[in-house]
A and B are shown apart, each in its own frame.
Chain A
């Protein structure tokens, strides 16, 4: 069993839809949770960084962490074609330490 599980998709939604992306994990020591967006042939771009449980909102993006269920989510409101990319969840148990990545979910937002 992988430490971090993420459905690779692909996920296709119409423009304007609310997108829900999720990851589950098995290591209860993880405390720092990140979501990255990666466009094709580019490096990952940090979208959200969350410590421990709770919600964090930044514009159209909301990150949720439920440590009791070992489950994290990223919601994208009013999705746009420019949101089409691969979304990677990542986490670690100490600041500055190596990240454990999910497989990435490929998202396509259709105009």
Chain B
């Protein structure tokens, strides 16, 4: 299957600072990337969908000014958590979908654990 990487895998930041998480598709061009957050023992919650070169589409209840998403190229999307607070602490996972062969499977990155102190 296709490979998606995330960086960093784990980050601790102080309340009020901003954190940027990178998501890269390593061996295919990702026309669409998705950002999720996941709380312990819960399923994935979609935050936003981004297409290369376009503004991200946010799910209802997700603050677009707080979670800035940029999809500048077919292999890179970034999520910036601005003015982070302890309640933003979570596991953030990206996925990428594109012309991987002849289908549009969605492949996930390994996740980034964010802890805000």
Q: Is the CB of B111 within 8 A of A43?
A: yes
Q: Residue B31 at the A interface, CB < 8 A?
A: yes
B103 A104 Cβ-Cβ under 8 A: no
B105 touches A34 (CB 8 A): yes
Contact with B107, one of A41, A46, A95 (Cβ below 8 angstroms): A46
The one of B98, B104, B105, B110 that contacts A43, using a Cβ cutoff of 8 Å: B110
Q: Is chain B's interface secondary structure helix, strand, loop, or mixed overall?
A: strand
B94, chain A: closest CB distance, angstroms: 8
Summed over the interface, the residue pairs from A and B with CB atoms below 8 Å come to a total of 52
Query: How many Å from the CB of B58 to the closest CB on chain A?
Result: 12
**Smallest Cβ-Cβ distance to A32: which chain B residue:** B104
**B contact residues, total (Cβ < 8 Å):** 26
Closest to B105 in A: A49
Tell me, in angstroms, the Cα distance from A42 to B4 when the chains sit together. Answer: 12
The CA of A46 and the CA of B34, in the complex, are separated in Å by: 15
Q: Is the Cβ of B44 less than 8 Å from the Cβ of A49?
A: no
Chain A neighbourhood of B103, CB < 8 A: 49, 95
Since A42-B111, A43-B95 are in contact, a sample of 12 more A-B pairs with Cβ atoms closer than 8 Å, ordered by chain A residue number, is: A34-B105, A36-B108, A42-B110, A43-B6, A44-B44, A44-B93, A96-B31, A96-B97, A98-B46, A98-B49, A101-B44, A103-B42
Chain A residues at the B interface, C-beta cutoff of 8 Å: 32, 34, 36, 41-46, 49, 88, 90, 95-96, 98-99, 101-104
Q: What are 27 A-B interface contacts by the 8 Å CB criterion?
A: A41-B111, A42-B110, A43-B6, A43-B108, A43-B110, A43-B111, A44-B44, A45-B1, A45-B108, A46-B1, A46-B105, A46-B106, A46-B107, A46-B108, A49-B103, A88-B43, A90-B106, A96-B97, A96-B104, A98-B46, A99-B34, A99-B46, A101-B43, A102-B43, A103-B42, A103-B43, A104-B43
